[in-house]
Structure 1
Amino acid sequence: MIIHTLGPEATDSCRAAQHYERTQPGDIRIELHDCFENIIEHFNDYQGDCFLIPTAFKSCHTHLDWADIHYTHLDQLKLVTCFCYALDPLVLIRRLRLAANAAYTHPSTAALMKDYLHSIQDDAVIHYTDSKYLAYQNYRRVRARYVITNQKNVQLSDNEKIERTYTPDMVWCLYQILKKNR
């Protein structure tokens, strides 16, 4: 069995796929992709393989979320199983000095960022990325003021402070990709 999901290895999606692989019998191979949209665009190439996605998925490219994928592809995706697997702890980091007035996050955690910014009355511009891992990479590259990312990705400097920590559970859906009925 081949499972297509979001990469790189630092993503929660990869960890959830590895968890599934450890708990199931049989030969399972995990293929990581840059974004979920790339997997969806190639469903026809992956017939017979599996697709793993969190129910909190939201696209940073289109107005697409997990429900849209589930219902739009009813004829091409068969839900095999769902399981609960916690995300790595998330942190909201604030750069203390000399920072661009920007915040980076994945669309699925945007509500956390918006709530925090509202609570401190900050108007930082929110930028979205394909993963929380990429959010952290962009935050560092741009020297942005805020980011929400997985705690394990962080190398905190003396110019940064963890403002919030979150430990969410997540529901994951594993689908088999079927031949599309026309």
Structure 2
Amino acid sequence: MKIHTLGPAVTDSYRAAEQYRADHENLEVVGHPSFEVLYQSIPELRGELLLIPAAVKTPTGAGWGDLHYQYGDRLELIDSLITELSPLAILERRGRSG
């Protein structure tokens, strides 16, 4: 069975999927280029697992709750986990470019 999430392997989501896989035999982690692509692939992923962070925010502004309501009739929550995030930095852009 496969567990699908955001790739590449350096993302927090992919590392969380690897952590989950370590406790569940016979899982293969598959990375996707974006969560939008992953959600659009739901019809082809029937019977497989998706790992979506609760703090996800797509470029269109959709959060986990929005995506849950949009796709909830096609998904079933089966488990949850808490993992540590990579260090984050907060930056402020000053001045104009160009």
Same fold judged by TM-score > 0.5?
Answer: yes
Q: 1:75 to 1:20 in 2, by over 3 A?
A: same
Of Structure 1 and Structure 2, the greater strand share is in 1
Q: Give secondary structure in 1 for the equivalent of 2:50.
A: strand
Q: Give secondary structure in 2 for the equivalent of 1:4.
A: strand
Task: Note the aligned Cα RMSD (angstroms).
Answer: 1.9
Unaligned 5+ segments in structure 2 are: none
Shift of 1:64: 1.1
Counterpart Cα distance in 1 of 2:95 and 2:54: 27
Runs of 4+ that moved beyond 3 A: 122-125
Identity %: 35
Aligned residue among 77, 86, 89 for 1:88: 86
Counterpart Cα distance in 1 of 2:11 and 2:95: 25
Q: For residues 78-113 of structure 1, what are the alpha-carbon distances to aligned partners after superposition, in whole Å with 9 as ceiling and x for unaligned? A: 001111101122234xxxxxxxxxxxxxxxxxxxx4
Unaligned 5+ segments in structure 1 are: 93-112, 126-143, 145-182
Counterpart Cα distance in 2 of 1:68 and 1:123: 32
Aligned residue among 50, 73, 76 for 2:74: 76
Q: Looking at both structures, which has the greater relative contact order when contacts are Cα pairs under 8 Å and sequence separation is at least 6? A: 1
Q: 1:90 to 1:2 in 2, by over 3 A?
A: same
Q: Give secondary structure in 1 for the equivalent of 2:55.
A: coil
Q: For residues 48-101 of structure 1, what are the alpha-carbon distances to aligned partners after superposition, in whole Å with 9 as ceiling and x for unaligned? A: 1111011110011x1211111111112101001111101122234xxxxxxxxx
- Provide the TM-score with structure 2 as the length reference: 0.88
Q: Which residue of 1 aligns with 2:44?
A: 45
Q: How does 1:17-166 map to 2 (within 5 A)?
A: 17-24=17-24, 26-60=25-59, 62-92=60-90, 113=91, 117=92, 123=94
Counterpart Cα distance in 1 of 2:52 and 2:34: 11
Counterpart Cα distance in 2 of 1:90 and 1:27: 32
Counterpart Cα distance in 1 of 2:54 and 2:69: 13
Counterpart Cα distance in 2 of 1:7 and 1:87: 15
Which structure is larger by alpha-carbon Rg, 1 or 2?
A: 1
